Amino acid sequence: MTHRPLWIGTSFKMNKTRAQSVAYATRLRSELGGGVPGVRAFVIPPATALAEVSLALEGAPVRTGVQNAHWADGGAWTGELSVPQAADAGARIVEIGHSERRAHFAETDGTVRLKVGAVLRHGLTPLVCCGESAEVFARGGSVEHVLRQVEAAFAGLSGTRGDEGLGRALIAYEPVWAIGEHGREPRPEDVAPVHEALAAEWGDRVGGVLYGGSVTPGNAADLLRVPGVGGLFVGRAAWDVEGFLELLRVGRRHAGAMA
Ligand SMILES: O=C[C@H](O)COP(=O)(O)O
């Protein structure tokens, strides 16, 4: 049986200068050489550093991405960034619908769907974030909540894995209660039901389903063993490049064990 490569990546969120981002990329490039067997690495720096980081990683086995993009190709949208602009700066991945954007910047299922359409239209990979609040988790509504978010994100799109359309998309399941410095580290059994449901509904239709939220080198192997988890999307633990390299090593060991 062949296994799909694991996707392991990080978003710097609103952190790092251009110089810090490029230093990170340069170190990553020199450490990774030809790549990490069984793993597809990606880095999503702040937009200010995207072009330089993409150049620093040109030809290296690391994709770059952008943390958000507008659905229009251009126009009077002050403060926004379009998918063609992100692609021009080297992005191959566009993160969409992170819970911080849903909570603080009025991102809705409707705007997520528009953005997914724009990203696919331009041949990039949408990385669609989904996840339930602590309240929804506590009342046992996680699976229903997440499936509804993902259904809305991909409404009307079709395709199978490997296709040029939806098959290129990635899903990141990031329970809101697990994200960030106030998040709670999940137990594998906390996130297993949603991953099982996502694998059943979407596993054959998208490029991969990642887990995100309080991932560390210490819990990464256990989280990768949750059925349906096809990678990790990491914040804090990967902001130091040594942490990211350690997570990539965990991914390589997991991929090797599954081969
Ligand atoms: O984008 C990444 C996620 O929001 C996870 O963040 P975290 O690893 O710092 O909890």
Delineate the domains of the chain, giving CATH numbers in brackets. 6-258 (3.20.20.70)
What is the reported pLDDT for 3? 74
The residue nearest atom 7 of ligand 1, judged by CA position, is 235
CB of 222 within 8 A of CB of 215?
Answer: no
What is the reported pLDDT for 156? 86
What is the reported pLDDT for 2? 52
pLDDT digits (tens, 9 = 90+) for 171-195: 999 999 999 999 999 999 999 999 9
| Active site (annotated) includes residue 98 | yes
Q: Kindly name the residue from 70, 95, 98, 195 that is annotated as catalytic.
A: 98
Q: Kindly name the residue from 107, 132, 174, 195 that is annotated as catalytic.
A: 174
- The total number of residues shown for the chain amounts to 259
126 CA → ligand 1 middle, Å: 17
Three-state DSSP class for residue 169: coil
Q: At what angle do helices 142-153 and 109-121 cross, to 10 degrees?
A: 50
The Cα 139–Cα 114 span in angstroms is: 30
CB 183 less than 6 A from any atom of ligand 1? yes
Q: What residues of the chain score a pLDDT lower than 70? A: 1-2, 158-164
The Cα 238–Cα 225 span in angstroms is: 20
Q: Does ipTM exceed 0.90?
A: yes
Mutation probe of ligand 1 site: the residue of 12, 42, 236 with most atoms within 8 A of C-beta: 236
Cα–Cα distance list, 30 to 46, 58, 91, 242 (Å) = 21, 12, 20, 12
| Active site (annotated) includes residue 174 | yes
What is the reported pLDDT for 159? 61
